[in-house]
Structure 1
Amino acid sequence: MITLTAARTRQARVRANGLAGDRAASVAEATRRAVGLQAQDVKACRLSVRSRTSGLVKSDVDKAVRERAVVRTWAMRGTLHMVAAEDLGWVVGLLGPYFAKGLFGRRRQLGLDEETTERGVRAVAAVLSGSRPLTRAELVARIAEHGVVIDPRTQAVPHLLGYAAMTGVICRGPGLERDEPSYVLTREWLGEQPVIAEEEALTRLAARYLAGCGPATAEDFAAWSGLPLGKARQGFGGLELEPVTAAGEPAFVLAGTELPATARKPEVRLLGHFDAYLLGYRGRALAVPDGFEHRIRAGGGMIMPAVLVDGLAVGTWRQVRRKDGLRVIVEPFGALADRVLPGLRDEVTDLGRFLGLPTEWELGR
């Protein structure tokens, strides 16, 4: 059995996730490699693409959405993700029913009983049929004309739209002015989606997860996907796996996986909010030093932008917009090794290139 130190386990994971080694050449490739990128924050989603690609700029992400190479919808853990367009049908078909069912009680509290929810989804589908992409406000106004009146000031609207997406009826369309989201009918935006049996979809998702996040365990897969542990184990059970000892714990990679050697120089990445790497496992103990979890998970469900060195968070960072450009303030957990600084400077430079802004940086406290 292969034994990996904590450092080599992190290196294997970031390389699998597209954060080290050869970077992807397109938005779709980067998204597919990570299986999906968190997308509730549009700006953060763009940054997730930047850290996994080479040579792209922020408008390339929006272009990929407009051209339907990638699409945003509710997927892993019932949260908004960007996935490759060809993956939407089977991923939502597998995961959506779990989260749609699990949120029934909350919908009922919001006045969306089963009958009202189904009427609402039918109204949304009727309104969007043959239509241009519509904003949330436009949808609320239009479905009211179909007899489904929902107070836009409540959480009932996002829960109705989330249910429609989890059942495959709608997905997010292209971003509009000021990144306002829009909604489209899935079948009109992407065409009819293939139907895949649950067992096959479970195995496929488990394989994609391990390819993009391994070494990992079924427990990690369950935490990342939101699936019940029994289903996660079933997905692993359909794969040809190679057991490894990763940071002292049993884990798996797909059979035939080539594990990377120790990197010659530090792989430094500036991760944005909610980066997939920090949400890919049942815990962050391997990626975040002991005593600093509160700096990464700052409360309210926020996962903060992180400075990553060979898969280990060594600090957080933030942007300060100025008239003459952007200032990046890096707030390390401790003293940064001299060998890390060239990679950090390169990352700040690349961030400015990606955003199209003159960029400077400083080390904060």
Structure 2
Amino acid sequence: MKKGDLLQLRLQNQGLLSPRFEKPQDAVAHLGAMQAQDFNMATWAAGLRLKNPGRAAVESAIHSGQLIRTHILRPTWHLVHSKDIRWMMQLSAPYVKKATQFVDKKEGLNDELFKKCRKIIERLLNQADQITKEDILLALSKQRITISSLLTTQIIIRAELEMVLCNGAAKNTYVLFDQRIPPAAALSKTESIVQLAQRYFQSRGPATVKDFAWWSGLGIHEAKTGIAELGPQLEQFIFNDLKYYYLGVEGKTPSTKAVTLLPCYDEYTVGYAEGRAIALPPGLDSAIIGNGIFKPVVLYGNEIVGTWQKNRKTGLAEVQLLDETKAVPPKKLEEGIAAFNRFYQAGIRSK
């Protein structure tokens, strides 16, 4: 398989070539989890994959609890479907706790302190529908527990991992997990690993075992278990001496190339480790495009051809091409910019 074919498969599986999802929660469920530390960019990432993108629909799904924004898989924010969060959190929490233990120890978070804080947080939420980080800090100080802002963040992350808290209806608020998340049948660890592998390779394939292990936060052994259990469902091939896996592609590949404004932290670039560099322009200093992760980038077909940013005053997209002489049809560029502008302007403002 050639590089161009590999990237086309990824884009199709990611839902970026021909968006096929009616609802944002369907797009997120397909992806398993979608990185979301930048709230506005995360809403656009979901919108890109919808047949009829609308910011209001994405924000509504988050505020209503159909999509949950929480720390899961790796110690950063993700969007997860409410129907998936229980089994996924039960699988990933031990790995995330291990990843956060250095900061926890540095800030003084131990089991004894967390148990005290958990009781105070639960009591606070029995008196209020939703709370903020500041509410937690104030409640702890009233109990003569003085902690820093970073330690409070680590306590909140631990509470998310132990399924005590999750995001509330308004931005930057928290509610009791069990009051917002519906009950669900428990899965065994192996069943959860296989389920996560299936979501990963159906939405991000072709990808390698190390790509899956990095994205999921699982160990290599667990990642290999997921691949082995999927067995013949996975297609595989060798590219640049690495073995790539993917599940069958859904939908038709468009016959013409389009310009797409990818948000920062989009799963098209952030969802890989050793397989990420394939999508980056060869010979380019990756810092110029934030390694394809930390800056929003412009795709023309399957090539990264520029970066973009949202104007702070107007909220509209402004594009900077990497090579002004490169043949990017102005009409295609205008269409890509217009798609983001419509999405942004049609949305509701975050509470």
Residue in 1 that maps onto 2:236: 243
Q: Is the 8 A contact 2:82 2:182 kept in 1?
A: no
Question: What's the offset of the Cα at 1:97?
Answer: 1.3
Residue in 2 that maps onto 1:360: none
The TM-score with structure 1 as length reference comes to 0.86
Which residue identity lines up with residue 348 of structure 1 in the other structure? I
Specify which of 75, 79, 90 is matched with residue 76 of structure 2. 79
Residue in 2 that maps onto 1:165: 160
CA distance in 2, matches of 1:247, 1:259: 25
Specify which of 54, 58, 73 is matched with residue 55 of structure 2. 58
Q: Where do residues 56-205 of structure 1 align in structure 2 (5 Å cutoff)? A: 56-129=53-126, 131-146=128-143, 148-152=145-149, 155-176=150-171, 181-205=172-196
Q: Is the 8 A contact 1:9 1:247 kept in 2?
A: no
Residue in 2 that maps onto 1:8: 5
Residue in 2 that maps onto 1:287: 279
The worse-fitting range, judged by mean Cα deviation, of 56-65 and 190-199 is 190-199
Residue in 2 that maps onto 1:363: none
The TM-score with structure 2 as length reference comes to 0.90
Q: Is the 8 A contact 2:12 2:250 kept in 1?
A: no
Specify which of 295, 302, 310 is matched with residue 304 of structure 1. 295
Residue in 2 that maps onto 1:350: 339
CA distance in 2, matches of 1:186, 1:194: 16
Cα 1:127/1:193, change in 2 over 3 Å: farther
CA distance in 2, matches of 1:144, 1:174: 25
Residue in 2 that maps onto 1:42: 39
Q: Is the 8 A contact 1:215 1:246 kept in 2?
A: no
Specify which of 306, 323, 327 is matched with residue 334 of structure 1. 323
Three-state SS of the structure 1 residue aligned to 2:84 is: helix
Please identify runs of 4+ aligned residues in structure 1 that moved more than 6 A. 259-262
Which residue identity lines up with residue 281 of structure 2 in the other structure? P
Q: Is the 8 A contact 2:17 2:253 kept in 1?
A: no
Q: Is the 8 A contact 1:107 1:113 kept in 2?
A: yes
Q: Is the 8 A contact 1:100 1:167 kept in 2?
A: no
Which residue identity lines up with residue 268 of structure 1 in the other structure? V
Question: What's the offset of the Cα at 1:320?
Answer: 1.7
Residues 94-140 of structure 1: per-residue CA shift (max 9 Å, x gap):
11111113322321211212211232223223322363111110122
The worse-fitting range, judged by mean Cα deviation, of 236-245 and 205-214 is 236-245
Cα 1:168/1:13, change in 2 over 3 Å: same
Q: Is the 8 A contact 2:18 2:253 kept in 1?
A: no
CA distance in 1, matches of 2:214, 2:266: 15
CA distance in 1, matches of 2:241, 2:334: 33
Residues 187-238 of structure 1: per-residue CA shift (max 9 Å, x gap):
1111334422111100100011001101111111011112111211111111
Question: What's the offset of the Cα at 1:246?
Answer: 4.3
Cα 1:116/1:321, change in 2 over 3 Å: closer
Question: What's the offset of the Cα at 1:260?
Answer: 7.6
Cα 1:259/1:71, change in 2 over 3 Å: closer
Cα 1:285/1:354, change in 2 over 3 Å: same
Q: Where do residues 314-329 of structure 1 align in structure 2 (5 Å cutoff)? A: 314-322=305-313, 325-329=314-318
- The structure richer in strand per residue is 1
Identity %: 25
Cα 1:352/1:229, change in 2 over 3 Å: same
For structure 1, which runs of at least 5 residues remain unmatched after alignment?
358-365
Question: What's the offset of the Cα at 1:245?
Answer: 3.2
Q: What CA RMSD, in Å, does the superposition of the two structures yield over aligned residues?
A: 2.3
Residue in 2 that maps onto 1:222: 213
CA distance in 2, matches of 1:169, 1:306: 36
Question: What's the offset of the Cα at 1:78?
Answer: 1.9
The worse-fitting range, judged by mean Cα deviation, of 310-319 and 197-206 is 310-319
Question: What's the offset of the Cα at 1:264?
Answer: 1.6
Which residue identity lines up with residue 159 of structure 2 in the other structure? A
Which residue identity lines up with residue 242 of structure 1 in the other structure? E
Q: Is the 8 A contact 1:317 1:328 kept in 2?
A: yes
CA distance in 2, matches of 1:134, 1:262: 46
Three-state SS of the structure 1 residue aligned to 2:94 is: helix
CA distance in 2, matches of 1:193, 1:136: 28
Cα 1:35/1:51, change in 2 over 3 Å: same
Q: Is the 8 A contact 2:200 2:212 kept in 1?
A: yes
Which residue identity lines up with residue 335 of structure 2 in the other structure? D
Cα 1:92/1:220, change in 2 over 3 Å: same
